[in-house]
Structure 1
Amino acid sequence: MGEATAGDGGEVVTAAVLVIGDEILSGRTKDRNIGYIAEYLTALGIDLREARIVPDVVSEIAAAVNALRGRYTYVFTTGGIGPTHDDITADGIAEAFGVPVHHDPRAVEILKAYLGDRLNEARLRMARMPVGSELIENTVSKAPGWRIGNVYVMAGIPSVMHAMLDAIAPTLRTGTVIESRTVEGRGIKEGDVGGPLGDIQAAFPQVMIGSYPHFDGNQFTTSLVLRSRDTAALDAAEAQVRALVERLLAEVRP
């Protein structure tokens, strides 16, 4: 539903997020990166189309990367590039691309300069990446992320991931930003609005329309959210949605 993002050359600009880590799947660590990346990319005019979470298993990382990198313009991964034995993102992505893993000499020098005599064998793992990777700057803790092909590999720690995403952003192709409008239907249940809202959606296929109900303990409210890059269509669809809400409210008023 709705139109795709088109870049300057008319191509569709899409993305997927791949979160890597047993700790996410076990619930021990709560993911804070998918939502942040989604909002960040939306502001750039890049459509986030899919998000996956995979365990710390080389073959599963490789399979997910290969499934996503051929389907979307960009793939952004988080997690699994630290100093411990289960940080195996490099191995999984190297398997996906069919290249070996090495200690990148540029990354080694960055770690040496930052850590000095604290650079031990464990910390040196943070310089492991597939041969042919390009470094992603890390202004927070210095250990770099990296890119190979259309896959951008970032840390799982949110503050570090934010810095890496800021470093990546200027290099990305972008599209027209989607505009969003919200119409609040206070006192309206989702079942009341569902049928006629579907008719409005059918009339404006270039506008994405979603309904989101919530209950504050006293009454139901359904938030109707419209999103599009076509301002004229968005204006017209919003007017019809507002008219629908007013009609429904008039019907329930005493």
Structure 2
Amino acid sequence: MSTSVSACILVIGNEVLSGRTKDANLSYLAGELNTLGIQVREARVIPDDETVIIDTVNFARQNFDYVFTTGGIGPTHDDITAASIAKAFGLEFGHNPEAVAMLQSHYKPEDLNEARLRMAKTPKGAILIENPISKAPGFQVENVFVLAGVPKIAQAMFENLKGRLTGGATVLSATVTTDLTEGVIAKELGLIQDQFDDVEIGSYPYFKEGQFGVSLVLRSVDQMRVESCQTTVKEMIEKLGGKLIFSS
């Protein structure tokens, strides 16, 4: 099993870029993927623009093990993700018989209009991703998984596809929080990072109840290295006269 499996998440939608819609899918997918041993290395928010979608998907699928897109697969004119994915792969695009059957089982014949049938269009040969909520499926083409933008539906789709994923080593983490500021610990923390080059050390300052401080998050696939680094960070805080507020 590979020790490092990468993923890229593409959030597609003008409404997210405009601020009208707050994305909730990135944090969910990143967390779920991490538990499977798949590390999200990059995430982008891109517009409902065919050229941008094609170029971004083609870059991502060539540079990451897995690509997940959210948004743009509904029944309206601005939902162009599915057709753009087809063009990115150079595939024909049209009604998927299996997807049509799913919608026919969900809607009354008089309610299954042309707009709703648009949600049954996929690139030719795509593997469907079941949608137990509104039935309109997502789909997979090679290493690209196309999900809905509505969080509950995206999450349900992910539950139905994650059995197709093969992960590597799970990234483990530990957190140390102190009342020292970044300016005080920067030099010593840099030396610790040099010592533990296999541990990612993130520094996140905060201001709470009139008090400045910093939370240090340590991440690695090696539990012993995380623990050793955590001990070293605690010793640094003590050496600099700081207070250890939280450690886990």
Normalised by the size of structure 1, how large is the TM-score?
A: 0.92
Contact 1:127 1:144 in 2 (8 A): yes
Q: Deviations over 1:220-250 (max 9, x none)?
A: 1211111111122222211110011112235
Q: Give the aligned partner of residue 66 of structure 2.
A: 74
One-letter code of the match for 1:125? R
Contact 1:184 1:221 in 2 (8 A): yes
Q: Residue 132 of structure 1 is aligned with which of 108, 117, 125? A: 125
One-letter code of the match for 2:140? R
Tell me if 1:93 matches 2:53: no
Q: Give 4+ residue runs of structure 1 displaced > 3 Å after superposition.
A: none
For residues 70 and 250 of structure 1, do their structure 2 counterparts lie closer, same or farther at Cα, with a shift above 3 Å needed?
Answer: closer
Q: Deviations over 1:167-197 (max 9, x none)?
A: 1111100112111111111x21111111100
Q: Secondary structure at the match of 2:64?
A: coil
Tell me if 1:205 matches 2:166: no
Q: Secondary structure at the match of 1:249?
A: coil
Quote the Cα distance in structure 1 between the aligned partners of 2:194 and 2:139. Answer: 43
Superposed, 1:44-123 pairs within 5 Å as: 44-117=36-109, 118-123=111-116
- Larger displacement relative to structure 2 (242-251 or 163-172): 242-251
Superposed, 1:158-173 pairs within 5 Å as: 158-173=151-166
Tell me if 1:24 matches 2:9: no
Q: Give the aligned partner of residue 143 of structure 1.
A: 136
For residues 110 and 188 of structure 1, do their structure 2 counterparts lie closer, same or farther at Cα, with a shift above 3 Å needed?
Answer: same
Q: Deviations over 1:73-119 (max 9, x none)?
A: 00000001001011111111111001111010100010011012211
Contact 1:101 1:128 in 2 (8 A): yes
Q: Deviations over 1:4-25 (max 9, x none)?
A: xxxx1x3631100011111111
Unaligned residue ranges in structure 1 (runs of 5+): 1-7
Unaligned residue ranges in structure 2 (runs of 5+): 244-248
Tell me if 1:157 matches 2:150: yes
For residues 15 and 128 of structure 1, do their structure 2 counterparts lie closer, same or farther at Cα, with a shift above 3 Å needed?
Answer: same
Q: Give the aligned partner of residue 176 of structure 1.
A: 169
One-letter code of the match for 2:152? S
Quote the Cα distance in structure 1 between the aligned partners of 2:97 and 2:125. Answer: 12
Q: Deviations over 1:5-46 (max 9, x none)?
A: xxx1x3631100011111111111111111111111111110
Q: Secondary structure at the match of 2:238?
A: helix
Quote the Cα distance in structure 1 between the aligned partners of 2:50 and 2:77. Answer: 12
- How many residue pairs get matched? 242
- Larger displacement relative to structure 2 (237-246 or 68-77): 237-246
One-letter code of the match for 2:30? A
Quote the Cα distance in structure 2 between the aligned partners of 1:181 and 1:50. Answer: 22
Quote the Cα distance in structure 2 between the aligned partners of 1:84 and 1:102. Answer: 16
Contact 1:60 1:92 in 2 (8 A): no
